[in-house]
Structure 1
Amino acid sequence: MKRLPIDNEYLRDHLLTLLNIPSPTGFTDEITTYVGKELERLGVPLELTRRGAIRATISGDVSSPDRAVVVHLDTIGAMVRAFKDNGRLEVTPIGTWSARFAEGARCSILLDDGRQLRGTILPLKASGHTFNEEVDTQATSWDNLELRVDEFAYSEADLRKLGIQIGNFLSIDPNPEISESGFINSRHLDDKAGVAALLAATKAIVESGIRPPVDCHLLFTISEEVGYGASAVLHQDVAEMVTIDNATPAPGQNSKETGVTIAIKDQVGPFDYHLTRKLTEICEEHEVRYQRDVFRYYRSDSASAIEAGNDIRTALLCFGVDASHGYERTHLHSLRSLAELLALYIQSRPTFLRDREELAPLEGFPEQTLEQDEGEAN
Structure 2
Amino acid sequence: MNYNEEQIKYYLSNILTTPSPSGYTKKVIAYIKKELDIIGVSYELTNKGCILVTLPGKDKQNGRVLSAHIDTLGAMVKGIKSNGTLSLAAIGGYMMNSIEGENCIIETLDGKEFTGTIQSIKPSVHISGDEARELKRTVENMEIVLDEKVFCREDTLELGIEVGDFVSFDSRTVFTPSGFVKSRHLDDKASAAILLYAIKYLVDNKIDLPYTTSFFITNYEEVGHGAAAIPHNTKEFIAVDMGAPGLDQNSSEYAVCICAKDSSGPYDLETRKKLIDLCRKNDIPYKIDIYPYYGSDASSALRAGWDIKTGLIGTGVFASHGYERTHMDGILATLDLVINYCKED
Under a length normalisation based on structure 2, what TM-score does the superposition of the two structures give?
0.98
Q: Secondary structure at the match of 2:89?
A: strand
Match of 1:33 in 2: 30
The alpha carbon displacement at 1:103 in A equals 0.7
Q: Please tell me whether Structure 1 or Structure 2 has the larger radius of gyration of its CA atoms.
A: 1
Match of 1:181 in 2: 178
Percent identity of equivalent pairs: 38
| Residue-pair matches, total | 345
**Cα deviation code 1:170-219 (max 9, x no counterpart):** 01000111111011111011111111111122222122221101110000
Contact 1:240–1:312 (Cα < 8 Å) also in 2: yes
Instruction: List aligned pairs for 1:288-303, cutoff 5 A.
Output: 288-303=284-299
Residue 341 of structure 1 is aligned with which of 328, 337, 340? 337
Residue 2 of structure 2 is aligned with which of 2, 5, 8? 5
Q: Secondary structure at the match of 2:202?
A: helix
Would you say 1:280 and 2:276 are equivalent positions?
Answer: yes
Residue 95 of structure 1 is aligned with which of 88, 92, 97? 92
Match of 2:168 in 1: 171
**Cα deviation code 1:325-351 (max 9, x no counterpart):** 0010000110011111101101112xx
User: Matches of 1:313 and 1:40 in 2, distance apart?
Assistant: 31
Amino acid of the structure 2 residue aligned with 1:180: P
Any unmatched runs of 5+ in structure 1?
350-378
Under a length normalisation based on structure 1, what TM-score does the superposition of the two structures give?
0.90
Instruction: List aligned pairs for 1:175-214, cutoff 5 A.
Output: 175-214=172-211
User: Matches of 1:318 and 1:14 in 2, distance apart?
Assistant: 17
Task: Give the 4+ runs in structure 1 shifted more than 2 A.
Answer: none
User: Matches of 2:18 and 2:212 in 1, distance apart?
Assistant: 30
Contact 1:58–1:215 (Cα < 8 Å) also in 2: yes
The alpha carbon displacement at 1:62 in A equals 2.6
The alpha carbon displacement at 1:44 in A equals 2.2
Amino acid of the structure 1 residue aligned with 2:303: E
**Cα deviation code 1:208-266 (max 9, x no counterpart):** 2211011100001110000010002x111100011011111001100000110000110
The alpha carbon displacement at 1:15 in A equals 0.6
Would you say 1:312 and 2:308 are equivalent positions?
Answer: yes
User: Matches of 2:270 and 2:303 in 1, distance apart?
Assistant: 20
User: Matches of 1:346 and 1:93 in 2, distance apart?
Assistant: 37
Amino acid of the structure 2 residue aligned with 1:143: E
Match of 2:233 in 1: 237
The alpha carbon displacement at 1:20 in A equals 1.1
Q: Secondary structure at the match of 1:281?
A: helix
Amino acid of the structure 2 residue aligned with 1:13: Y
Any unmatched runs of 5+ in structure 2?
none
Would you say 1:216 and 2:219 are equivalent positions?
Answer: no
Would you say 1:64 and 2:61 are equivalent positions?
Answer: yes
User: Matches of 1:303 and 1:184 in 2, distance apart?
Assistant: 27
CA RMSD of aligned residues (A): 0.9
Contact 1:7–1:204 (Cα < 8 Å) also in 2: no
Match of 2:151 in 1: 154
User: Matches of 1:276 and 1:36 in 2, distance apart?
Assistant: 31
User: Matches of 1:44 and 1:287 in 2, distance apart?
Assistant: 30
Amino acid of the structure 1 residue aligned with 2:342: I
Residue 271 of structure 1 is aligned with which of 261, 267, 271? 267
Contact 1:245–1:316 (Cα < 8 Å) also in 2: yes
Instruction: List aligned pairs for 1:137-148, cutoff 5 A.
Output: 137-148=134-145
The alpha carbon displacement at 1:130 in A equals 0.6
User: Matches of 2:33 and 2:95 in 1, distance apart?
Assistant: 32
Instruction: List aligned pairs for 1:75-86, cutoff 5 A.
Output: 75-86=72-83
